[in-house]
Amino acid sequence: MESLCGLTLGADPEGFWDILEERRRSSDLSHALRTFNPQHYCRITTSSSSTINRTVLKSQYLRYITQEIAEETGEPVELVREEAAGILEEMAQNLQLGFIRLLAFSLSKTFKRLFSSIRVNEEGLSRLQAAIKDHPVILMPTHRSYVDFLVVSYILFTYDLPIPVIAAGIPLMGMKLIGEIFRRSGAFFIRRTIGSDKLYWAVLSEYVKTLVRTGFAPLEFYVEGLRSRTLKSLSPKLGMMYMILEPFIKGEVFDISLVPISISYDRVLEESLLTHELLGVPKPKETTMGLLKARKVLEENFGNMHVYFGVPVSVRDLANGKVNRSQYNLVPRDLPLKPSEDVRVFVGDVAQRVVRLQEQGMVLSPWSLMALVLIQYPEGLDWDLLTQKTLWLKGLALCYGARLDWPEQVSNLEMMSSHLALHHTVARCEKGRVLLVEEDGLHGAEPVSEEEGVLRRAAVVLICASYRNQALHVFVRPAMAAVAMTTASSVRKLDVFSQFRFLLDVFANEFIFIRNNAEQDFDQACALLQRSGAVCADEHSLNVTEEGQTTLHFLQTMLEPFIQTYKMVFRFLCESNAQVFTERNFTPAVRSFAVKLILSGELQCYECLSSDTQKNAISALLNIGAVTKSRVSEQTEFSVNKAAVMRIADTLDGHTPSLMISHSRL
């Protein structure tokens, strides 16, 4: 449970341990060359990468698929099989201890330069050690930075645990030399867009399943699919999750342990990169040169990193009563079949649960709380006010069960100023006033156009918003209830709940909510509001208390940027002359619409320029059914039901009873 009111991590009561401390005291070389003798999965069937690859190519499943493809395309089977072998060669990892040692050595050097500390919860690692022995283990870290990529392997090496194989994006492989080093460090490579390439999909799926079945090594993958550019958890991707769970559902392994890993950064290496991506400036290709250029990054300090290894989750326990494992009794298990409805629902459910657990394991830095305050004062605020508000918020966060990195022995003032200093690129204090720092444009300090001025302003707002996002999961449920209270038709719990459920539906892609869990989410929200003294609730109603106004207002304001953005998107869709958009045109069109609104002064919220939030708004409409998606000649098109969109916008304002929409979703 997350109701750990009053818990602080100041003195590391969670048992976080700085692994860099040892590295600063003793030789990195002897660390890299230490005896490495981890205890493996007790039923491991092979420890050879080439055996894995052979098993994959020989598998009955690939035999079925290649036969099928050969029949469809008219190509000879041998050719299809060769193609499959080619795909596998491009994909497969080639884990070698020597390269892990090399990596350990260079990472020790790099990490010491970048971070003040890397703190790891050791009891999580001993749980992991026990789990690795019993069942195949899936390591599921959050993905906020490229640093995530190898830090888990580094830690596992340090603690004498088996080195994981890691699902990575193909672009990493494209980096000469580095790609090969990664491959030998256990990375296997997946194309970004697999789409309908049946053979590719099949090879990947069989490869992943074979890794799980054989228990070759812990398998590490990012369930969020992508590095989150908003630093907020992303809605999980289910393709790989399904591949991983399949061996359990088909009885090929007794159980699988999912280990959520929450990697929290005081400051993210790619922060400036992030926002440019969010504004729609294309992402730089991941090249070796790019990485070398990033060396200037090495001169900066990025504070602390916390890596929290969560409690292993048994897939078998999760599946109990939800999945009928007998469904494969009458067909060969290798037959390529679409997953049944119960399996699809289950996979989504598991993925969401893990992301929730990741969120609960995140450690908040004081800066996230400061950003949460700062973002509500776009024109800046006095240091004293910032201090006062931040400390108030700290109390609220602790009351809501956040894990907070705020040691007792350091004074609050010192803590906050050091974090402000760490984030000097985002905000600074001038004459007692704290202001956001705008980055210089490409053409010097002066903006060339009004539009660029807006984007430049938006860039820093979005960085600040990203750090705020790191803390949102702590507040999102009570905040959602707080918003629901303002738009609900009465203080009756039933009315607030129906509005709350409507908000869950609308923001289903924005925040992580477990499907069909609205009642529990609402109960939890009410309990937290009550605990923080913001409302007093009886069986039937929620009443705002005298002193609760501030809290509720703060919580409502917290969600305001998202509501604004969604409303802007809804407005764009309704006001536009066209009924149909291509997916490609949507982002630029909505961006220029938003810029126009900001320039005209109609819109003050720069966060509306976040393309991620805009896309989430569209996904929400797709889910609700107000927008439908179709593929027309290689392009994805959205067609908009304007009346439905308008109805949703109205409900968001509290104008129509929200029940209708909630139901229309069903």
Give the shortest CB-293-to-another protein separation in angstroms.
51
> Contact between 384 and another protein (CB under 8 A)?
no
Choices 154-162, 321-329, 410-418, 449-457; region in contact with another protein by CB under 8 A: 321-329
Measured CA to CA in angstroms, residue 242 lies from 108, 194, 224, 349, 352 at distances of 35, 15, 13, 11, 13
- For 551-567, letters b (16+ CB in 10 Å) and e give bbebbbebbebbbbbbb
Of the candidates 64, 328, 383, 392, which one interacts with another protein according to CB under 8 A? 328
Residues 6 or more apart whose Cβ sits within 8 Å of residue 242: 339, 343, 344, 347
Token pair of 529 as six digits: 């509001």
Of the candidates 35, 37, 193, 329, which one interacts with another protein according to CB under 8 A? 329
Give the shortest CB-247-to-another protein separation in angstroms.
9
- Amino acid residing at 231: L
User: Scanning the structure block, which residue is given the tokens 């600074």?
Assistant: 428
- For 66-99, letters b (16+ CB in 10 Å) and e give bebbbeeeeeeeeebbebbeebbeebbbbbeeeb
Site string for another protein, 278-307 (x = CB under 8 A): ------------------------------
| Closer to another protein by Cβ: residue 58 or 492 | 58
Choices 248-256, 552-560, 577-585, 604-612; region in contact with another protein by CB under 8 A: 248-256
| Closer to another protein by Cβ: residue 59 or 613 | 59
Choices 247-255, 384-392, 546-554, 631-639; region in contact with another protein by CB under 8 A: 247-255
Site string for another protein, 519-538 (x = CB under 8 A): --------------------
| Closer to another protein by Cβ: residue 45 or 520 | 45
Q: What are phi and psi of 162, to 5 degrees?
A: -60, 140
Of the candidates 113, 254, 494, 655, which one interacts with another protein according to CB under 8 A? 254
Of the candidates 18, 180, 255, 650, which one interacts with another protein according to CB under 8 A? 255
- Residue 171, judged by CB atoms within 10 A of its CB (0-12, 13-18, 19+), counts as middle
What distance in Å separates the CA atoms of residue 385 and residue 365, rounded to the nearest whole number? 19
| Closer to another protein by Cβ: residue 320 or 411 | 320
Residue 285 is given by DSSP the state P
Give the shortest CB-133-to-another protein separation in angstroms.
13
Task: Report yes or no: 276 and 221 within 8 Å, Cβ to Cβ.
Answer: no
Of the candidates 34, 109, 325, 424, which one interacts with another protein according to CB under 8 A? 325
| 3-state DSSP assignment of residue 441 | strand
Give the shortest CB-165-to-another protein separation in angstroms.
23
Token pair of 471 as six digits: 């803390």
Describe the chain by its helix, strand, coil percentages, rounded to 5: 55, 10, 35
Nearest to residue 132, comparing CAs of 222, 220, 35, 42? 42
| Closer to another protein by Cβ: residue 333 or 456 | 333
What distance in Å separates the CA atoms of residue 504 and residue 468, rounded to the nearest whole number? 20
Give the shortest CB-254-to-another protein separation in angstroms.
4
| Closer to another protein by Cβ: residue 29 or 42 | 42
Residues 6 or more apart whose Cβ sits within 8 Å of residue 22: 31
Task: Report yes or no: 427 and 413 within 8 Å, Cβ to Cβ.
Answer: no
| Closer to another protein by Cβ: residue 10 or 251 | 251
Task: Report yes or no: 488 and 654 within 8 Å, Cβ to Cβ.
Answer: yes
| 3-state DSSP assignment of residue 362 | coil
| Closer to another protein by Cβ: residue 168 or 212 | 212
> Contact between 320 and another protein (CB under 8 A)?
no
Q: Residues binding another protein: what is the number (CB under 8 A)?
A: 12
Choices 174-182, 246-254, 364-372, 399-407; region in contact with another protein by CB under 8 A: 246-254
Of the candidates 18, 68, 252, 560, which one interacts with another protein according to CB under 8 A? 252
Choices 116-124, 142-150, 252-260, 608-616; region in contact with another protein by CB under 8 A: 252-260
Q: Could you give the angle at which helices 412-422 and 383-399 cross, rounded to 10 degrees?
A: 100
What distance in Å separates the CA atoms of residue 43 and residue 271, rounded to the nearest whole number? 43
Token pair of 111 as six digits: 């990490």
| Closer to another protein by Cβ: residue 249 or 369 | 249
Q: Is 12 left (phi over 0), alpha (psi -120 to 50) or beta?
A: left
Task: Report yes or no: 73 and 192 within 8 Å, Cβ to Cβ.
Answer: no
> Contact between 333 and another protein (CB under 8 A)?
yes
Give the shortest CB-188-to-another protein separation in angstroms.
25
Of the candidates 76, 86, 251, 407, which one interacts with another protein according to CB under 8 A? 251
Give the shortest CB-590-to-another protein separation in angstroms.
49
- Which 25-64 positions form the footprint of another protein (CB under 8 A)? 43, 45
| Closer to another protein by Cβ: residue 30 or 329 | 329
| Closer to another protein by Cβ: residue 86 or 332 | 332
**Residue 163 neighbours by CB distance under 10 Å:** 24
Question: Which neighbouring-strand residues pair with 630?
Answer: 637
Task: Report yes or no: 618 and 565 within 8 Å, Cβ to Cβ.
Answer: no
Site string for another protein, 106-145 (x = CB under 8 A): ----------------------------------------
| Closer to another protein by Cβ: residue 255 or 451 | 255
| Closer to another protein by Cβ: residue 290 or 332 | 332
CA 279 to chain centre: 19
Of the candidates 30, 35, 37, 326, which one interacts with another protein according to CB under 8 A? 326
| Closer to another protein by Cβ: residue 317 or 575 | 317
Question: Which helix (H) or strand (E) segment is 384 a member of?
Answer: helix 383-399
- Which 214-233 positions form the footprint of another protein (CB under 8 A)? none
| Closer to another protein by Cβ: residue 328 or 383 | 328
Choices 104-112, 300-308, 327-335, 557-565; region in contact with another protein by CB under 8 A: 327-335
Q: Is 26 left (phi over 0), alpha (psi -120 to 50) or beta?
A: beta
Choices 250-258, 366-374, 410-418, 626-634; region in contact with another protein by CB under 8 A: 250-258
Choices 149-157, 249-257, 498-506, 654-662; region in contact with another protein by CB under 8 A: 249-257
Task: Report yes or no: 465 and 622 within 8 Å, Cβ to Cβ.
Answer: no
Choices 290-298, 322-330, 447-455, 479-487; region in contact with another protein by CB under 8 A: 322-330
Residues 6 or more apart whose Cβ sits within 8 Å of residue 586: 614, 618, 638
Choices 96-104, 166-174, 251-259, 458-466; region in contact with another protein by CB under 8 A: 251-259
Instruction: Enumerate binding residues for another protein (CB under 8 A).
Output: 43, 45, 251-252, 254-255, 325-326, 328-329, 332-333
